[in-house]
Structure formats: C-alpha cells, structure tokens
C-alpha cells in the first residue's frame, strides 16, 4: 500500500489533472489523498463549482479521499497555502509521498531552488526590497540573481518565476518546516502552460477552461465527461459561482470598515489599508481593484484580501495550523486510508463539521469561519443557495471512482 497526497484546487478538474493522476499511479501510488481547496481558491476567487461537487468529481477522476484545505489557508499566499495543505497531509500520519506538477520536472532542481529561496526569505535585505515597493516574488528573485550571478541566478530565477514551480518549492519548504518523512515526486507539466489561453493536445489551463465557461464556448474535449456534464447541470440550475455576484456586499464591507479592521486582515500592511479605503468610493469592484493594483499588490492578493475581509479571517487565524481535516468525499478505496488514519492521525478527521468543531477551541473557530465562508459562497452562486450548507452536508461512500 503506497499512499500519495496531491494538493489541488480542481477548478475545474481537466485533462492535465487526469494526466497528473495517471502518472502518479504509474509511480506506484495505490491510494491517492487529495487535499483540495474548498469554495475559494488561492488566486482570490470563488470556485466555479462548490467543493462537494468538485470533491465528488475528483473521486470519479482518480482520487480516493478528498480533504478540504480550510478557507484560512486556501485564501492565503502560496507559502501559507502550501503550509496548510502539507500540514494536513503530514497529519494523516500514513502518507508516503506528495505528488505535484511542475514546469521544471526535477525534484533535485526544485529542492535547490527551495533552499535558496528559504535563505533569501530570512535575509534582512528582503524587508528593504519590500519597503521599496517590490512584490515578494520579485524581491526573492532579485536577491537570487545578486547572490548567484547571472548563469545560475537566471536558472533558479526562472524556476522561481514559473507558477507551478513556485507552489512546488513551497511544498518542499513546508515538508522541511514540519520535518516530514513524506517524499516528493513531481510530474512535468504537459503541453499548455499555467494560465495559457490556448489548448494543446487536448490539454488547457484551468484559466482557459474557465474563460470558455464564461464565454459559453465548448470546452468538453478539455475535461473528462463527468466534469463537462456536472458544469452543464450546475449552470442550468444556477449553481455556478462568480465573485462578481459578491460585488455589492464587498463594496458595502469596504465602505463600512475602519483602518484598524483592515489592518487585521491577512496581507494588509504598510499603509495598504488607506489605499483600499480611498478606492472604496468607486462604484464597481473592477474599478476598485484596478485603482489599488500595483506590481507589489497583485490582483490575486487584493481579491484574497477582500474575501478574507468579507468572511472575517484575520492575521491571527494564520497563526493556527489546521486543527482538523474535513473529509469532503471518500471512496471504497479511500476507506483503506481512513482505517490507517485511525491509528496514525495527528489531528481529528471527520466528514462532520459539527463534530470537528467540538474537538478544540481552535477547531471551533475554524469551523465557524468555514460555515460563514460557505454561506457567503451561496450568495456568489447565480441562484442564491441555501445557508448552513456545510453543517447539513451528508457525505457517504462513493463507489464509482475511475479505475487505473
């Protein structure tokens, strides 16, 4: 029995993800635990399909167990996103491997880049670059070039500039941070690049597929049949979500927040709260975002800030490691993993948010945040969904998972 973890968002699950799962199986994985973002994704947006639908699709497409990344971590920087996900994987206590995609396709090169990036992140020079208006990734890359010289600096800098490599590096840093015994395995990305707006060999980025969804273009050849059908059904029922549906309540929240309240929100600091409040008089979300956006304050970071503010997530919440693992979907084969977790688990795991909320004060806080996050997500759906969905969800054993 070899249990492999995959950190994912599956927004939506597409042929590239299917290829990754296939290669992970070929590398010896008998069981796959997917640690998946819930109703919100790391780019600072609502997921197109709700987390329970996406978790069920993940089982059909090759995963055996799906556990949620709490919104506190899924709506955070790459560093904290990876740290939260890897902590949950490690806390299962029985995971042998973590499998992730990367542009470079080499664990050795990624580990070298992770080591250098970690050294740079601890340097006093970093704060100076940040004070001068550089974004965190650009500041790290500048330090890499300065320390390693042109040839090696360019190579490491290229690795740290590619989106999937960035997450891969953060997974490796998190494994080291937790002194985890989980071994890394990477699958080189095939065909279409991250955020590419073209399809190649039947594979396209999730960004391109979401654009097809928005434009009502055909994307059925780019995703498994299950996913295409699920999206068609959800759209017909008004169950697809978009952050634009939250525009009015985001603007309301901005206009009624104080500088002190904004300073408590993750990623807000060094006067950004005043820049945000100055923009709050604009009459639509896009204008507000564009008036604040700079090289340092990216669109994804700003949208994460707005969603964190709306949900009520604070900087102090990020000081708490995930206090539980919420199971979103499990197959017959996934029960094998859970059987081991009963003996090896380091934190509580359950399908019931209500049950998990009673395990510790930290768990109660995270569960309350998750319930509120899901209630707000229901407002982002084209047809407003019901409240308290997280507490009413009934999660059973599914038996129609994809066979490899």
**CA–CA gap between residue 166 and residue 308 (Å, rounded):** 22
Same domain, 343 and 374: yes
Domain endpoint, select from 292, 317, 342:
317
Same domain, 69 and 176: yes
Same domain, 143 and 268: no
Domain endpoint, select from 280, 301, 317:
317
pTM of the model: 0.93
Domain membership flag for residue 354: yes
pLDDT, block means (10 residues), the chain with 404 residues: 97 95 97 98 97 96 97 96 98 98 92 87 81 78 77 77 88 96 93 61 90 93 95 97 97 96 94 95 95 90 97 98 97 96 97 96 98 97 92 76 50
Pairing label, strands 3-8, 97-102:
parallel
CA distances 201 to 19, 225, 248, 331, Å, are: 12, 17, 40, 30
Same domain, 356 and 301: no
Same domain, 256 and 234: no
Q: List all residues 6 or more positions away from 250 whose beta carbon is below 8 Å from its beta carbon.
A: 285, 306, 309, 310
Residue 172's pLDDT is 96
Same domain, 232 and 250: no
* Count: domains in the chain: 3
Domain membership flag for residue 404: no
Same domain, 311 and 325: no
Q: Which alpha helices (DSSP H) does 132-224 contain, by range?
A: 136-148, 150-161, 163-177, 206-215
Same domain, 216 and 251: no
Domain membership flag for residue 43: yes
Same domain, 54 and 139: no
Domain membership flag for residue 403: no
Torsion angle, CA of 194/198/199/201, rounded to 10 degrees?
-90
Residue 145's pLDDT is 78
Please tell me the number of Cα atoms within 13 Å of 398 on its side-chain side.
23
Structural domain that includes position 310: 243-317
Domain membership flag for residue 70: yes
**Residue among 177, 202, 168, 179 nearest 6 (CA):** 168
Domain membership flag for residue 381: yes
Residue 399's pLDDT is 65
Q: Cβ distance 117 to 140 under 8 Å?
A: yes
Residue 292's pLDDT is 96
| CATH number of residue 185's parent domain | 3.40.50.620
Q: What tokens does 5 get?
A: 């973890």
Domain membership flag for residue 390: yes
Same domain, 362 and 258: no
Domain endpoint, select from 276, 301, 317:
317
**Residue among 289, 320, 322 nearest 307 (CA):** 289
Domain membership flag for residue 372: yes
Same domain, 332 and 378: yes
Q: What tokens does 79 get?
A: 């560093």
Same domain, 20 and 46: yes
160 burial (CB, 10 Å; 0-12 / 13-18 / 19+) is buried
**CA–CA gap between residue 377 and residue 75 (Å, rounded):** 13
Residue 192's pLDDT is 54
């Amino acid at each position: 029995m070899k249990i492999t973890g995959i950190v994912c968002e599956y927004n939506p699950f597409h042929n590239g993800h299917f290829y990754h799962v296939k290669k992970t199986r070929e590398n010896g994985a008998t069981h796959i635990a997917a640690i998946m973002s819930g109703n919100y994704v790391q780019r600072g947006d609502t997921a197109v399909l709700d987390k329970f639908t996406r978790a069920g699709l993940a089982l059909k497409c090759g995963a055996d167990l799906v556990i949620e990344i709490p919104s506190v971590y899924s709506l955070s920087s790459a560093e904290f996103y990876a740290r939260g996900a890897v902590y949950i994987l490690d806390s299962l206590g029985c995971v042998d491997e973590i499998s992730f995609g990367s542009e470079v396709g080499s664990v050795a090169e990624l580990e070298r880049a992770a080591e250098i990036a970690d050294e740079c992140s601890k340097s006093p020079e970093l704060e100076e670059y940040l004070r001068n208006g550089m974004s965190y990734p650009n500041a790290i890359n500048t330090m890499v070039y300065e320390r390693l010289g042109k040839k090696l600096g360019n190579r490491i800098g290229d690795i740290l500039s590619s989106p999937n490599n960035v997450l891969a590096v953060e997974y490796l840093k998190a494994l080291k941070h937790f002194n985890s015994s989980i071994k890394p395995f990477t699958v080189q990305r095939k065909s279409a690049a991250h955020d590419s707006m073209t399809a190649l060999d039947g594979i396209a980025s999730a960004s391109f597929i979401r654009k097809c969804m928005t434009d009502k273009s055909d994307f059925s050849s780019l995703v498994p049949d299950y996913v295409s059908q699920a999206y068609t059904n959800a759209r017909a029922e008004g169950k697809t979500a978009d952050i634009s549906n939250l525009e009015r309540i985001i603007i309301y929240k901005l206009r009624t927040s104080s500088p002190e309240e904004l300073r408590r929100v993750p990623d807000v600091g060094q006067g950004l709260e005043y820049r945000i409040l100055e923009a709050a008089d604009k009459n639509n979300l896009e204008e507000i975002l564009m008036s604040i956006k700079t090289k340092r304050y990216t669109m994804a970071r700003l949208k994460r800030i707005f969603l964190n503010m709306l949900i009520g997530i604070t900087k102090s919440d990020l000081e708490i490691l995930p206090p539980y693992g919420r199971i979103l979907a499990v197959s017959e084969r996934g029960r094998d993993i859970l059987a081991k977790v009963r003996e090896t688990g380091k934190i509580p795991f359950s399908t019931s948010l209500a049950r998990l909320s009673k395990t510790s004060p930290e768990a109660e806080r995270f569960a309350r945040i998750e319930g509120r996050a899901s209630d707000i997500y229901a407002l982002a759906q084209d047809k407003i969904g019901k409240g308290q969905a997280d507490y009413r969800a009934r999660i059973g054993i599914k038996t129609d998972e994809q066979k490899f």
